[in-house]
Amino acid sequence: MFRAMINGNGKQRAAYTAIMQLNILSDLKEYNPTLCGTIPIGIDIEGSDLDIIMEVHDLETFAARLQALYKDKEAFQLKRTVIRGKEVVKANFHFNEFEFELFGQAQPVQEQYAYLHMMIENECMKKMPSLKAEIITLKKQGFKTEPAFCKVLGIKGDPYDGLITYWETEGRFN
């Protein structure tokens, strides 16, 4: 999906350029950096960030690497926290008019929620093209992406778990 952004809309092309200028894919290649979120699937709004997720088993070394590579970037912040029972490292900074969030946890990229959500959202929009405009409208009203999808799809409860459960129970991965 990332490589297709080179031929995407203006924001996708600019995002592709910024990522390549930072050399993230090469500098962090051992962590399988993968762009996720709204920009690759074209449902971004003003202020949408670039989420790059990675599989990281040594969080201490990863945090030091992020510090060394990006500490000079505008608004750089690094933190360790626990999300859904898993320890993670997150780095946020600004570069070329984009906010970046680099996210690492000890889980394969294809099993991380950010990746799963992006793939589910993209497939839902392929099957139901009218969703895109509805999601963008809700996002402009202040909804986060997953809650917007859940509202439109009638999914109750936790939107992050709910989106995955919806996809699995609807047999969408078949």
**3-109: CATH number:** 3.30.460.10
Euclidean distance between CA atoms 43 and 24, whole angstroms: 23
Other beta carbons less than 10 A from residue 57's beta carbon: 11
Please, what is the Cα angle at 124 between 121 and 130, to 5 degrees?
Answer: 110
Please state the domain extents for the chain: 3-109, 114-169
Euclidean distance between CA atoms 49 and 99, whole angstroms: 5
Closest by CA position to 50, among listed 67, 30, 70: 70
Q: Is the pTM of this model over 0.95?
A: no
Euclidean distance between CA atoms 63 and 27, whole angstroms: 14
Alpha carbons within 13 angstroms on the beta-carbon side of residue 11 total 16
Closest by CA position to 40, among listed 94, 95, 1, 98: 1
Give tens-digit pLDDT for 49-99. Answer: 999 999 999 999 999 999 999 999 999 999 999 998 999 999 999 999 999
Which residues, in sequence order, are CB contacts of 77 under 8 Å at separation 6+?
Answer: 91, 92, 93
Give tens-digit pLDDT for 129-142. Answer: 999 999 999 999 99
